[in-house]
């Protein structure tokens, strides 16, 4: 399906405020996963383009952008947020086609992008250093300073939200940014950069170079003039990015996904829990780093939860993103092959329920029906490994100790939730769960741009979102003045 008119050329990079073709002139096809048609040709940026983008970012820091006060930066971010809101329909449309994300979910992401800009715009002048009592005759204080040029390597599953939380926080602290969106989905990254340009962000403060991971991504993560890298994606690629940045002794923030559990105890309010138990697993067809792919249920309510979740699963429809079903397609045939191979590995598990791919779904679309699987063994590969597709396993447990053991048994630790009315249990588990975020009687708290987010273990390190991200995107200088 053809794209709406765009205020930029999708096969160009944005470097130093100007749209231009990549140096090699090469492009890559962008595919609409809902029907397999080509949406556009995008730039296949390579090291020459990354190099130009890094130089543009550095000159922005040495020039107009670097001279902006915190208040001025905040005003620009707020203006970007307002312009994002004015373009919500277009952004949602682009994201739906590009990612295959159902329109309502794509729209929520566009609104979240504007919220990030508003939140960070408002925060820009509220971050400051401290004075430190020290020896007689000294005044000591700290200054929060930007790292400099920051690199942002973004995946295809939530381009707008991830750009909001990482580029938004970086610009707030006065860094300049080079953004490398995913080759599978990058239209909203380009549109966002155009919006930022129109909102008055000085040239070079944000540059966008689409391209392949092994080319543009690797060139950015190993660039010697980049002073911070923020990466969201797979564990394997995250490790490569950290290695490349490590060679330049550059800090990295890694957000690498998870196997996030929801723990349902026998005193849980099931009516409240149910929508979260299902939606947290099937949102964006399960291609969500914080997807809840493990549902742990106390044995006494296991059958009841299976029946109630199954009823919801049976009503789930899967179809083209613009038709706004509960689930759209997966991002690519590669991702479908991966999910299918997991389902084959889980062929020994009983299927409790499956959603339905609508009959009119195009044959060339990348559709997978959501699966709810009964999984008595918490060590089964489907209960341990991140699938990144619409597959949830339900695991029974006897008591709190066993629930905790199972919950903490994977190598990940991104999000967990506890469904119980028992306050003491809530507090005990909130402390003991190996997880970057814990939710009590909810899951995700609506996404909350204000809430620090990030993982432990193989889920990564560093925190994005909220004020915490602003500390990560800045460095602290201590000044000690001796004046007698």
List residues with catalytic annotation.
255, 289
Contact (Cβ atoms closer than 8 angstroms) between residue 77 and residue 121: yes
Q: Can you tell me the distance from the alpha carbon of 153 to that of 197, in angstroms, rounded to the nearest whole number? A: 20
Q: Can you tell me the distance from the alpha carbon of 318 to that of 152, in angstroms, rounded to the nearest whole number? A: 32
Decide: residue 431, CB within 10 A, 0-12 exposed, 13-18 middle, 19+ buried.
exposed
Q: How near is the Cβ of 458 to ligand NAD at its closest, in Å?
A: 11
- List binders of ligand NAD among 260-289 (CB under 6 A): 289
* Residue 217 in the binding site for ligand NAD (CB under 6 A): yes
- Count residues near ligand NAD (CB under 6 A): 27
* Residue 232 in the binding site for ligand NAD (CB under 6 A): yes
Closest to ligand NAD by CB, 332 or 442? 332
Stretch that binds ligand NAD, among 141-149, 229-237, 340-348, 415-423 (CB under 6 A): 229-237
Pairing of strands 228-232, 149-153: parallel
CA angle, corner 197, sides to 192 and 201, nearest 5? 110
* Residue 257 in the binding site for ligand NAD (CB under 6 A): yes
Q: Can you tell me the distance from the alpha carbon of 437 to that of 261, in angstroms, rounded to the nearest whole number? A: 11
Q: How near is the Cβ of 217 to ligand NAD at its closest, in Å?
A: 2
Exposure letters 198-233 (e unless 16+ CB within 10 A, then b): ebebbbbbbbbbbbbbebbbbbbbbbeebbbbbbbb
Residue with tokens 């009823």: 311
From candidates 10, 33, 213, 390, binder to ligand NAD by CB under 6 A: 213
- List binders of ligand NAD among 122-161 (CB under 6 A): 153-157
Q: How near is the Cβ of 170 to ligand NAD at its closest, in Å?
A: 16
Closest to ligand NAD by CB, 81 or 460? 460
Q: Can you tell me the distance from the alpha carbon of 232 to that of 170, in angstroms, rounded to the nearest whole number? A: 15
* Residue 456 in the binding site for ligand NAD (CB under 6 A): no
Q: How near is the Cβ of 291 to ligand NAD at its closest, in Å?
A: 9
Q: Give one word for 206, left, alpha or beta, with left for phi > 0 and alpha for psi -120 to 50.
A: beta
Stretch that binds ligand NAD, among 25-33, 167-175, 253-261, 300-308 (CB under 6 A): 253-261
From candidates 47, 58, 105, 237, binder to ligand NAD by CB under 6 A: 237
Q: How many CA atoms lie within 13 A of 192 on its CB side?
A: 31
Pairing of strands 38-43, 131-132: unpaired
* Residue 183 in the binding site for ligand NAD (CB under 6 A): yes
Q: How near is the Cβ of 455 to ligand NAD at its closest, in Å?
A: 9
Q: How near is the Cβ of 14 to ligand NAD at its closest, in Å?
A: 16
Q: How near is the Cβ of 33 to ligand NAD at its closest, in Å?
A: 13
- List binders of ligand NAD among 319-358 (CB under 6 A): 335, 338
Closest to ligand NAD by CB, 155 or 164? 155
Decide: helix, strand or coil at residue 376. Answer: coil
DSSP 187-250: HHHHHHHHHHHHTTPPTTSEEE----IIIIIHHHHT-TT--EEEEES-HHHHHHHHHHHHHTT-
Stretch that binds ligand NAD, among 82-90, 246-254, 255-263, 392-400 (CB under 6 A): 255-263
Q: Can you tell me the distance from the alpha carbon of 142 to that of 125, in angstroms, rounded to the nearest whole number? A: 16
Question: Per-residue x/- mask for ligand NAD, residues 364 to 403, rule CB under 6 A?
Answer: ----------------------x-x---------------
Decide: residue 412, CB within 10 A, 0-12 exposed, 13-18 middle, 19+ buried.
buried
- List binders of ligand NAD among 21-80 (CB under 6 A): none
- Give, to the nearest 10 degrees, the angle between helix 423-432 and helix 400-407: 30
User: What residue ranges bind ligand NAD (CB under 6 A)?
Assistant: 153-157, 180, 182-183, 213-214, 217-218, 221, 232-234, 237, 240-241, 255-257, 289, 335, 338, 386, 388
């Amino acid at each position: 399906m053809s794209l709406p008119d765009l205020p930029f050329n999708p096969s160009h990079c944005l470097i130093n405020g100007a749209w231009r073709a990549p140096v090699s002139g090469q492009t890559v096809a962008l595919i609409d996963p809902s029907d397999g048609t080509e949406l556009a040709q995008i730039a296949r940026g390579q090291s020459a383009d990354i190099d130009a983008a890094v130089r543009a970012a550095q000159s922005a820091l040495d020039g107009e952008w670097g001279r902006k006060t915190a208040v001025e930066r905040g005003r620009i971010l707020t203006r970007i947020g307002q312009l994002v809101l004015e373009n919500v329909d277009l952004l949602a449309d682009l994201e739906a086609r590009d990612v295959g994300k159902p329109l309502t979910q794509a729209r929520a992401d566009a609104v979240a992008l504007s919220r990030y800009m508003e939140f960070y715009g408002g925060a820009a002048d509220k971050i400051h250093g401290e004075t430190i009592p020290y020896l007689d005759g000294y005044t000591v204080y700290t200054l929060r300073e930007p790292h400099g040029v920051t690199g942002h390597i973004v995946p295809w599953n939530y381009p707008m939200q991830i750009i909001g939380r990482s580029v938004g926080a970086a610009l707030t602290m006065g860094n300049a940014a080079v953004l490398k969106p995913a080759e599978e989905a990058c239209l909203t990254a380009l549109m966002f950069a155009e919006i930022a340009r129109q909102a008055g962000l000085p040239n070079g403060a944000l540059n966008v170079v689409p391209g392949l991971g092994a080319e543009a991504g690797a060139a950015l993560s190993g660039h010697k003039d980049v002073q911070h890298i923020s990466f969201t994606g797979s564990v394997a690629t995250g490790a490569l990015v950290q290695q490349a940045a490590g060679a330049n002794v550059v800090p990295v923030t890694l957000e690498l996904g998870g196997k996030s559990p929801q723990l349902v105890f026998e005193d849980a309010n099931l009516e409240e829990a149910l929508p979260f138990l299902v939606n947290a697993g099937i949102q964006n067809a399960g291609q969500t780093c914080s997807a809840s792919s493990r549902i742990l249920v106390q044995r006494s309510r296991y059958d009841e939860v299976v029946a109630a979740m199954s009823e919801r699963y049976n009503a789930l429809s899967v179809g083209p993103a613009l038709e706004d079903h509960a689930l759209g397609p997966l991002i690519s045939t590669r991702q479908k092959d991966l999910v299918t191979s997991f389902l084959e590995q889980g062929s020994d598990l009983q299927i409790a329920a499956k959603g339905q791919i609508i009959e009119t779904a195009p044959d060339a679309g990348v559709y997978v029906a959501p699966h709810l699987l009964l999984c008595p063994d918490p060590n089964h590969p489907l209960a341990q490994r991140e699938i990144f597709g619409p597959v949830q396993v339900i695991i029974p447990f006897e008591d709190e100790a066993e629930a905790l053991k199972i919950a903490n048994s994977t190598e990940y630790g991104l999000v967990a939730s506890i469904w119980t009315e028992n306050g003491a249990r809530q507090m005990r588990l909130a402390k003991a769960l190996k997880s970057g975020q814990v939710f009590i009687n909810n899951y995700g708290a609506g996404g909350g741009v204000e809430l620090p987010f990030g993982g432990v273990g193989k889920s990564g390190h560093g925190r994005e979102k909220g004020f915490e991200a602003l500390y990560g995107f800045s460095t602290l200088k201590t000044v000690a003045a001796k004046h007698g």
